[in-house]
Amino acid sequence: MGLLQYFRKDKPKKGTAKLAKDRLQIIVAHEHSSFDVPSYMPELQKELVAVIRKYMDISSHDVKCEFNDRADDDMSVLEVNVTLPKNK
């Protein structure tokens, strides 16, 4: 590839701009959703794991907490999913 061909715009690559835009939208949405999480959420998750460990053997990866703020309902929802071990 010559130096002049590097700066020449013969054929734009189809779809690369749309792909970059889609990726950027995903990143922005992910960053925006992380700002909505209350500051106490990591500590709450640790405490939930500690309480459940009193009764059964689980790891911290078995508890997933999600916080959803519903602007249309003026309501916040805390969803806690716990993966329990099978009984032996």
| Fold of the domain built from segment(s) 14-82 | Cell Cycle; Chain A (3.30.1070)
Quick: pLDDT tens for 12-67.
Answer: 555 777 777 777 877 777 665 555 667 888 888 888 889 988 988 888 888 888 88
Weakest mean pLDDT among 7-11, 20-24, 42-46, 80-84: 7-11
- pLDDT score, position 4: 65
Q: Where are the domains of the chain?
A: 14-82
In this model, does residue 74 exceed pLDDT 60?
A: yes
The whole-number average pLDDT for the span 65-87 is 81
In sequence order, the 6+-apart residues with CB closer than 8 A to the CB of 63 are 45, 48, 49, 52, 80, 81, 82, 83
Count of C-beta atoms within a 10 Å radius of residue 63: 19
